[in-house]
Structure 1
């Protein structure tokens, strides 16, 4: 399957605007806004992403793996801002390369969203 990432970014812009306007449920119940610092520009970059809350931690999966801009931004600067529904907070993100942790995340995700 070939994904048009340019179109995907346009869709993400629409999701971001809806979420910012308080219409997050229209975007999806498992969507958060992740704000990273651009690794080249230094500007705030906000991306709507699906998440799983597991044992009090937010887990995100990247369809493009380590090629995703937001992942590369985290690798350059792990300080992030997160908005989940009406909750906003700052945190330190990390990119996992632990295969067991990734497999466990995917298993939980598939159980919750078959």
Structure 2
């Protein structure tokens, strides 16, 4: 029998894939993360929320290593990030030792609340922009 955590993950990711991501990905103001598919080698785009600080962009993944884009980063950490309508290249760093709850307090409030509400395996990610 699936655990409550597994059920939550399945429901949230199913909604994100079928409804949320297709809508958010079309919004010109939405921040987008482009990774390279670890199996396909094709670009994979995921809407994310976070904040740029200097030459870095910080965000928290809801499902940590259970997220497909996190697995893609583990295979190839070169990414692209669309911020304010402009694409930037960068290198993503997974930070499992960072406190993701504390990190969310420094990021945009609405997105942070959503991540806390649906997330089960929070993980901080920093992208160093080129």
CA distance in 1, matches of 2:56, 2:67: 21
TM-score (norm 1): 0.76
> Which structure 1 residue ranges, 5 or more long, are not aligned?
25-30
> Which structure 2 residue ranges, 5 or more long, are not aligned?
114-130
Q: Aligned to 1:73, what secondary structure does the other structure show?
A: helix
Deviations 1:26-61 (CA, angstroms, capped at 9, x unpaired):
xxxxx4100000011111000000112234410121
Structure 1 residue aligned with 2:16 = 8
Q: RMSD of aligned C-alpha atoms?
A: 2.0
Structure 2 residue aligned with 1:106 = 104
| Deviation beyond 3 Å, 4+ runs, structure 1 | none
TM-score (norm 2): 0.67
CA distance in 1, matches of 2:104, 2:41: 31
Aligned residues: 101
Structure 1 residue aligned with 2:46 = 47
Structure 1 residue aligned with 2:91 = 92
How do 1:55-74 and structure 2 match up within 5 A? 55-74=54-73
CA distance in 1, matches of 2:78, 2:64: 19
CA distance in 1, matches of 2:58, 2:98: 14
1:81 Cα deviation (Å)? Answer: 0.8
Higher strand fraction (1 or 2): 2
